[in-house]
Amino acid sequence: NIQLLACPCVRNYLPPEILIDSSSFGWTGTVWTASAHIITAVVGSGVLSLAWSVAQLGWVGGAAAIVFFAGVTVVQSSLLAECYVSRGHPERGGLIRNKSYMNAVRFYLGERRQMLSGFFLSISLFGSGVVYTLTTATSMRAIHEANRYGREGQQQGAPFSTATAGGSDVYYMLLFGLAQAVLSQIPDFHNMAWLSVFAAVMSFFYSFVGFGLGAAKVIENGVIKGGIGGIPLASPMQKVWRVAQSLGDIAFAYPYTLVLLEIEDTLRSPPAESITMKAASRASIAITTFFYLGCGCFGYAAFGDGTPGNLLTGFGEPYWLIDLANLCVVLHLLGGYQLYSQPAFALVERRFGAEAWVVEVPLPLLRWRRSVNVFRLCFRTAYVVAVTAVAVWYPYFNQVVGLIGAFTFWPLDIHFPVQMYLAQNKVAPWTTRWLAIQAFSATCLLVAVFASVGSAVGVFGPNRS
């Protein structure tokens, strides 16, 4: 189960697994292990944009938005945790375990809803690839600029900030895309358990560095920058769109819906898995929220109106630590990109029977022949090219993060878990519980629509930046 750390969605496209008796399978997970999985799954590249989000919302709005999405995540995770086990099914009877998100959607809501959820999941996975490309390019340029300044800038005595160093990220995006095109051809990439541990260590390291450097810079400045209303903009409408984009960024950073049932499948019982999972969710979200508030608020307090879109690009010294943190981002996302792309690869290749496209390619110089899957070679390369092209075409890190986070937030993280919970517990319409749950869903829908529209304006609008 270590692969849950960095590859939460791989099993979502597998056929449903139905177990009747859970007493002899030896699950050993506890609140502590589940909390560790959750924190590792949640903390990632999304944390780098939180300082920018707080800067757009201001001190009150930024902190309130982070706490709001934390509360939403606790509620929706509690609802989804109830859907892991179904007892006394009218047709199958016994105890049925839904071991992945897509399997649960199919079990409770049917194949059509599963196809719809698969559509949003595919967008989420593709969008994550775009976000990873943008994030990695920014970090690679930050390393280059920091090294250049270390050689030249110190002699001139000029202040340094990679947030304003200038230059294009296209070269780094293409370089990252080339690396992913090669890595995508590695067979069974998602089965490398060591990669999950490696990715977890990298994400924790650069997150802690961002947290620590933000606090250190506030102390160095001797003043807390920023204001109640956040960064002022030229017009009220621009401010509205920026607020919407920041909400989308926070929505991208929080949910772990797609991995929740797989984590729950590792837990032992008694007590019931759902009870343990709810306790782990509350504990891990509390820890994550404290960490997110620290990164977001310390980053805004350190840079004020000059808060960068990617927190790590705002610091100049110590150069070695900044370079190491950005290198950890690059290494983390090199593997994370592939692990989040594997479900899309598996879905398409199974749909078109990729195994029938294997041919023998002779290599005369090496005097041996190599089996090559032509379909996999072409499709995976085309997929990476498409992701890279979108990133190059729309190189707006915070706006793209906001759009992906907001667009997939309500259907994947709210709507389907809510509908599965209502079906599993047979909640009668218009009862108090039904109305409360529907009000929760409707509120999240309004926030998601607002954030999606604002983020779309930031990506496609005439004043995008």
* Whole-prediction pTM: 0.81
- pLDDT, residue 204, reads 81
- pLDDT, residue 453, reads 92
Which tokens go with 156? 């001139």
pLDDT above 50 for 344: yes
pLDDT above 70 for 404: yes
Residue that is written with structure tokens 């600029």 in the block? 145
Please report, for residues 372, 374, 397, the alpha-carbon distance to residue 360 in angstroms, rounded to integers and kept in the order given. 6, 10, 42
- Tell me the average pLDDT across 319-333: 87
pLDDT above 60 for 8: no
pLDDT band, very low/low/confident/very high, at 158 (cuts 50, 70, 90): very low
pLDDT above 80 for 11: no
pLDDT band, very low/low/confident/very high, at 74 (cuts 50, 70, 90): very high
- Tell me the average pLDDT across 327-345: 82
- pLDDT, residue 73, reads 93
- Which phi and psi angles does 369 have, rounded to 5°? -110, 145
- pLDDT, residue 463, reads 63
* pLDDT over 70, % of the chain: 80
How do beta strands 368-373 and 358-363 pair?
antiparallel
CB 142 within 8 Å of CB 162: yes
pLDDT above 60 for 289: yes
- pLDDT, residue 359, reads 61
Residue that is written with structure tokens 């519980």 in the block? 433
Tell me: the pLDDT tens digits for 52-72? 999 999 999 999 999 999 999
Domains (range + CATH), the chain: 25-155+164-460 (1.20.1740.10)
Please report, for residues 75, 296, 439, the alpha-carbon distance to residue 444 in angstroms, rounded to integers and kept in the order given. 11, 22, 9
- pLDDT, residue 253, reads 86
Mean pLDDT score of the chain = 80
Q: Report helix, strand or coil for 358.
A: strand
Tell me: the pLDDT tens digits for 82-129? 988 876 555 555 678 888 888 889 989 888 998 898 889 888 888 888
- pLDDT, residue 429, reads 92
pLDDT above 50 for 279: yes
pLDDT band, very low/low/confident/very high, at 247 (cuts 50, 70, 90): very high
Tell me: the pLDDT tens digits for 13-24? 433 333 333 333
- pLDDT, residue 458, reads 83
CB 189 within 8 Å of CB 339: yes
User: What is the total residue count of the chain?
Assistant: 465
Tell me: the pLDDT tens digits for 175-234? 999 999 988 887 666 555 566 667 778 888 888 888 899 999 999 988 999 888 889 887
Q: Which residues contact 297 (CB under 8 A, 6 or more apart)?
A: 51, 54, 59, 62, 63
- pLDDT, residue 387, reads 93
- pLDDT, residue 2, reads 35
CB 177 within 8 Å of CB 386: no
- pLDDT, residue 177, reads 92
Rounded to whole angstroms, the Cα distance separating 372 from 342 reads 18
